[in-house]
Amino acid sequence: MAIWFSRSRNIVFSLRHNLNLSGILIKRDYSPRPAFTNSQLSSKSVCLDSFTSLRHESTAVEKQLDLVQQSDEEDPQELNFPGGKVGYTSEMKFIPESSSLRVPCYRVLDEDGRIISNSDYIPVSEKLAVRMYEHMATLQVMDHIFYEAQRQGRISFFITAVGEEAINIASAAALSPDDVVLPQYREPGVLLWRGFTLQEFANQCFGNKADRGKGRQMPVHYGSNRHNFFTVSSPIATQLPQAAGVGYSLKMEKKNACAVTFIGDGGTSEGDFHAGLNFAAVMEAPVVFICRNNGWAISTHISEQFRSDGIVVKGQAYGIRSIRVDGNDALAVYSAVRSAREMAVKEQRPVLIEAMTYRVGHHSTSDDSTKYRAADEIQYWKMSRNPVNRFRKWVEDNGWWSEEDESKIRSNARKQILQAIQAAEKWDKPPLTELFSDVYDVKPKNLEEQELGLKELVEKQPQDYPPGFQI
């Protein structure tokens, strides 16, 4: 390599000397470019067509907008590197760690559920709006009852989506059933929207015979191939590189669909977050990354997670279109996700959405958030910034919802969920053999030995296992 580089350098030097060629230095036109107005730099400006990505071409940088302004004193010349052609300057100037102005948050509804004047959003019909609200209310009731069931010792673990119902339901409503969802663990509303029944939720949490996961997963680790919903996996952020692969697969198969994956703000500290975004950007995979920035990663505040302006700016670092949206505004979430989904599918590119919200509930039933958060802070977000109440006001103001409707949906949801729990408790647990199936086509000898050893242990100490436990 060194010999090749030396010879190449000599050839270039000879050509420049004898033929008076500029060689590496190339004259470029750096005349002033049009400025952008505030209206152009709205939520739509993030989606400007001039942001194009041409993989494998070192000149792709020429196709992008200059987000770092060029100074008038810079020499109008470029240096050609394998990584692209870039202008140079004689001034030593470091890029600032962050902009003095934070990226604005896109919203449509104000706190009183009224549409902000001149809002740019996708209209929602009465039928869709009512269905969205019904699912948000059902999700609230489901969270409350299953949480209480865990506190009663009827299930071992549970995670609620309290405070994040708008992200769950509005994002689900904006997607196509063919889009493949790779969740974190706080998105049961997406599965609820897609038709996963309350009985199926109960069966999974109780790990009975009717559980599609055959009782192998801990509660809230839902999954359904029928609904294009990958099974929840406890390790943080592992779903993001997988989403990049799923998106690329959909692209290769020319499907009219994209991959959609969710993550919390704490998950962005994992290497898989960066790997997932970079893979998707480089491979131009149709993936919508949705980050729920709820301020807390269990007990770790976002101030201890990163020094950047949240998550939205991280997308730009990887060459990904990004937008920050009010996650407690169902109309804003719906519009942003639907637009992002359209970009991902039609333009074959990834998009990052940072949804600003607040986790009202504890991280899980294993957590007591009052140990690290003020009770009045939690109460403020629960009452004054409640996404369900906010959307309800808008639906009611349109004449699409009434107190009678409210009472009916919550009463019916409570009744159905309690019935589902009672039925789930009566089902037998899956037989012990299910622990050793569905992995190998032909069970290896060591696994057979483990299965035999476990059976012998159960037969020897039956008192340690629940009545009716099947070997």
Residues taking part in catalysis? 148, 234, 363-364
Q: Identify the H or E element spanning 84.
A: strand 84-87
Q: Is the dihedral of CA 407, 375, 268, 322 positive or negative?
A: positive
Q: At what angle do helices 330-347 and 126-151 cross, to 10 degrees?
A: 110
Q: Say how many Å lie between the first and final Cα of the chain, rounded.
A: 64
**R_g of the chain computed on alpha carbons:** 27
Cα 274 to Cα 133, 180, 300: the distances in Å are: 34, 20, 20
Enumerate helices (H) and strands (E) in the chain, giving the number of each: 13, 10
> What is the DSSP secondary-structure string of 400-435?
---HHHHHHHHHHHHHHHHHHHHHHHHSPPPPGGGG
Beta bridge partners of 324: 354
Per-residue HEC secondary structure of 249-261 comes to HHHHCCCCCCEEE
141, 413 contact by CB (below 8 A): yes
Closest CA to 416 of 138, 159, 132, 216: 138
55, 280 contact by CB (below 8 A): no
